[in-house]
Amino acid sequence: MDTMADRGSVTLRDVAEAAGVSVSTVSRVLDERAPRSQSATAVRVRQVADELGYRRNAYASGLRRGQTGTIGVLVPRLTDTVMALMFEALERAARARGYFAVVATCGDDPESERSSTEILLERGVDGLVLATARLDDELPAALRARGIRHSLALRTDGVSPSSLGDDDMGGYLAVRHLVDLGHRDIAIVTGPRFASSANGRVEGARRALAEAGLALDAERVVYAGYGIDEGVEAGRAVFTSSRPTAVFAANDNLAIGVMRAAHLAGRVVGDDLSLVGYNDIPLASRLPVPLTTVHVPFDQIAAGAIDLLFAPPGEATIRKVLPTLMPRASTTRVVE
Amino acid sequence: MDTMADRGSVTLRDVAEAAGVSVSTVSRVLDERAPRSQSATAVRVRQVADELGYRRNAYASGLRRGQTGTIGVLVPRLTDTVMALMFEALERAARARGYFAVVATCGDDPESERSSTEILLERGVDGLVLATARLDDELPAALRARGIRHSLALRTDGVSPSSLGDDDMGGYLAVRHLVDLGHRDIAIVTGPRFASSANGRVEGARRALAEAGLALDAERVVYAGYGIDEGVEAGRAVFTSSRPTAVFAANDNLAIGVMRAAHLAGRVVGDDLSLVGYNDIPLASRLPVPLTTVHVPFDQIAAGAIDLLFAPPGEATIRKVLPTLMPRASTTRVVE
DNA sequence: CTGTTAGCGCCTTCAT
DNA sequence: ATGAAGGCGCTAACAG
């Protein structure tokens, strides 16, 4: 039986023998948490370990230490660029704190969400970051009941520690921008009702309209998913029932879908139709007509999510970071 | 010291005591690899384990078994949809075979490629799938020298076990399609010279042109990166120096960049300019003008990569799967 | 089929 | 500062 990718598997004992000291000495010298000793033995041991190509066996170490230096991340899918951005940011934040991030995808299915969680737990993660929390999801509550360290990223259930963007503010910035450009007939396409982000962004949008003395009719708001196809469909609905001069899509994917719907309806984005997205995925600024959107600082959100994992419980545990508007060619002054 | 996400940590011993049997009995009954015994004790043990909420500690188990049921995947970045698609497919393929896939991102830096590899090995992965192999990269050779199980996905170095699409065929299909539509003035934008995929696709393109009696002048081929920005730049270069009626971009991101460059140059894709991409990322079919592209069967590639990991060495180890052309609105018959 | 025994590689008292 | 010894949770030989 070959052991773990057939790697040379140089053990502590090998190093100890080669260096002529005991295993415990080597263990101590190579303990990355302790301050680096500069004693003669320490230096020699490190050199020998290096020559032999020693690598600590994370499993044995984790077993003994009771923690593994691993953080589990749960996302619905990685092919959604927003989730990929979030995971990469979490990976960086984790690494900066000496942790390794592993990810599991779980789609939109609560059942697979549970089973993916169990898989991660089985692998002994020291904490769990969920980028999936639905408002109606009972997973965070279950984790709280079991006393499992976790935090929510991008969304919140109002109870578990959460790190997210200020969606209300983002929605406000987006629509305020449209209002400032003279638009008064604005439609809104947002995410699913079960997502706190979708609701927050609509709230902010409503506030900006109210400030301008505009009401937000119910039929002006379309709740959809966060995918491109949902954007196409929502856009189609919007453009057949009315003729808004501007659309706020609460997600860049949705906005891209709306772009396609607009194209099919004979509307020209950046000309007779203004469009704002949300998230500022890399694609947004590189479209033929670059998309005005709300930039979300994923790195800050990630840092918050990781920090909350290890923060003493009972602190103010819902952290919001401010988004920024990125005006681009997809929004223009309203034509009379 | 709390152990691993504070989970209840019900151990084999707990189950054994509660069920009134020995630890090894429980271990055997709960061994997922053995055939499921239906004896009275087995049934009872499973029930008790279930009630207590027992979960196997993957670290202890891996330590003892000498393998961890984990496969490491190395990709440059997950924010590139192609890589996200590839990883998700690998994740599925791994899961179908009882493995769990963990991913590490390493950018384009060979140094960080090395260190990410070490991190994965430290975590005791049973094998490594690299979706990063550059032609000039020495990592596969290093892994071979150390006897570490691995395979390459999407690219090949010509030696290590590889699972990839038939890039030559894909390039051929793309350009053949353009030729069939009457185009004779075709420019090609491809990926970096260090990628086997980029070269293969150009070769196929060249073959299709030759068949039609057309030569491929060197200045008709632009080597770029695989990012959108590189596509914009390459497109700009193409459109300022000449006026091709069609462009084959060897990657959808590149194609999107070319779209933007075309827009800036006053060309209209699907009208006076035909454009073909490569990979068929989900976005391609959902653009305002849907992109004709070459569909790559990521699931087959993933299955191949995982299988090669555990195949007896010495087999035919470079597996290629056939891509398919997806004709869409971005390509039209040439206008005279 | 069951239980006993030994040990995977590492870390951490405890004694020197 | 160093070494010896025990054990983390689990599995594989070996008896019965």
Which tens digits make up the pLDDT trace of A195-248? 999 999 999 999 999 999 999 988 899 999 999 999 999 999 999 999 999 999
Residue in B with minimal Cα distance to A151:
B5
Listed ranges B27-41, B123-137, B318-332; the one with the highest mean pLDDT = B318-332
Contact residues on chain A for B57, CB-CB shorter than 8 A: 63, 122, 124
B196 and B269 inside one domain: yes
CA distance B126 to B71: 6
From chain A, pick out residues whose CB is under 8 angstroms from the CB of B91. Answer: 105
Cα(B215)–Cα(B217) distance, integer angstroms: 6
Summarised one tens digit per residue, pLDDT across range A256-273 is 999 999 999 999 999 999
A39: exposed, middle or buried (C-beta count within 10 Å: 0-12, 13-18, 19+)? exposed
pLDDT of residue B237 exceeding 60, the answer is: yes
Residue B7 confidence class, pLDDT cut points 50, 70, 90: very low
Task: Determine the structural domain holding residue A159 and report its residue range.
Answer: 68-165+298-321
Give a yes or no: residue A336 inside a domain: no
Residues of B in contact with A147 (CB under 8 A): 6-8
Q: A213, A224, A282: which is closest to A248 by C-alpha? A: A224
Q: Is residue A150 part of a domain?
A: yes
Last residue of a domain, one of A17, A32, A56: A56
The CATH number assigned to the domain holding A32 equals 1.10.260.40
pTM for this prediction: 0.93
Q: Do residues B42 and B112 share a domain?
A: no
A38 plus A145 within the same structural domain: no
- The better pLDDT of the pair B130, A10 is held by B130
Q: Name which of A33, A59, A256 to mutate to probe chain B: the one with the most chain B Cβ atoms within 10 A of its Cβ.
A: A59
Query: What is the per-residue pLDDT for B147?
Result: 85
pLDDT given for residue A2 in this prediction = 43
Interface residue B149 vs chain A (CB under 8 A): yes
Residues 62-81 of B with CB under 7 A from strand C: 63-64
User: Is B329 among the domain residues?
Assistant: no
User: Is residue A253 domain-shared with residue A178, that is, in the same domain?
Assistant: yes
For residues A126 and A206, membership in a common domain is answered with no
Q: Judge if A119 and A220 occupy the same domain.
A: no
Q: Which nucleotides of D are covered by protein (CB under 7 A)?
A: 1-5, 7-13
B22 touches strand C (CB under 7 A): yes
Last residue within a domain, chosen from B14, B30, B56: B56
* pLDDT band at residue B8 using 50, 70 and 90 as cut-offs: low
Query: Do the domain assignments include residue A288?
Result: yes
Q: How many CB atoms lie within 10 A of CB B147?
A: 11
Pick from B56, B286, B289: which is nearest to A257 by CB?
B286
Q: Is A32 on the interface with B (CB under 8 A)?
A: no
Average pLDDT of every residue of chain A: 92
Q: Return d(Cα A174, Cα A119) in angstroms, integer.
A: 40
Give pLDDT, residue B336: 65
Q: Which nucleotide is nearest to B66 (CA to C1')?
A: C8
Pick the closest to residue A152 from A216, A209, A221, A75 (CA basis): A75
Residue B1: the pLDDT is 39
Residue nearest to nucleotide C11 (CA to C1'): A64
Residue B326: inside a domain: no
Q: A7, A55 in Cβ contact below 8 A?
A: yes
CATH number of residue A215's parent domain: 3.40.50.2300
Distance CA B168, CA B98 (A): 33
Measured between alpha carbons, how far is A129 from A117 in angstroms, rounded to an integer?
A: 10
Of B77-86, B89-98, B107-116, B275-284, minimum mean pLDDT range: B107-116
Model confidence at B286, pLDDT cuts 50, 70, 90, reads: very high
pLDDT of residue B306: 96
Total domains in the fold of chain A: 3
Which residues 62-81 on A are within 7 A of strand C at the CB atom?
63-65
Give the C-alpha separation, A94 to A97, whole Å.
5
The answer to whether residues B171 and B292 belong to one domain is yes
Task: For chain B, say whether A71 makes contact (Cβ under 8 Å).
Answer: no
Residues A94 and A179 in one domain: no
Which DSSP symbol is given to B218? Answer: G
Position A1 scores a pLDDT of 38
Radius of gyration of chain B (CA): 25
Share of chain A above pLDDT 90, in %: 75
Residue B106 included in any domain: yes
Average pLDDT of the residues in A45-49: 93
Q: Find, among B250, B92, B74, the residue nearest to B173 by Cα.
A: B250
* Contact map slice: B 219-258 vs A, CB within 8 A: 228-229, 232, 256-257
Where is average pLDDT lowest: A93-102, A128-137, B65-74, B172-181? A128-137
Reported as a single tens digit per residue, the pLDDT across A76-110 is 999 999 999 999 999 999 999 989 999 999 998 88
> Are both B35 and B77 inside the same structural domain?
no
Does residue B125 form part of some domain? yes
No. of helices (H) and no. of strands (E), chain A: 12, 12
> Token pair of A41, please?
């033995």
Q: Are strands A324-326 and A293-295 parallel, antiparallel or unpaired?
A: antiparallel
Number of H helices and number of E strands within chain B?
12, 12
Residue A96 falls within a domain, yes or no? yes
Same domain for B184 and B260, yes or no, is yes
| A314 backbone φψ class: left, alpha, beta (φ>0; ψ -120 to 50) | left
B274-276 and B246-249 strand pairing: parallel
Same domain, A127 and A215: no
Shortest CA gap B214–chain A (Å): 31
Report the residue from A8, A84, A229 with minimal CB separation from B84: A84
Cα A248 to Cα A219, A251, B243: the distances in Å are 14, 9, 37
Whether residues B171 and B261 share a domain: the answer is yes
Whether B287 has a pLDDT exceeding 80, the answer reads: yes
Cα separation, A49 vs A6, in Å, equals 19
Q: How confident is the model at residue B168 (pLDDT cuts 50, 70, 90)?
A: very high
Asked if A84 and B68 come within 8 Å (Cβ–Cβ), the reply is no
Res A8: pLDDT: 54
Query: Distance from A206 to chain B by nearest Cα, in Å?
Result: 29
What is the CA B166 to chain-centroid distance, rounded?
14
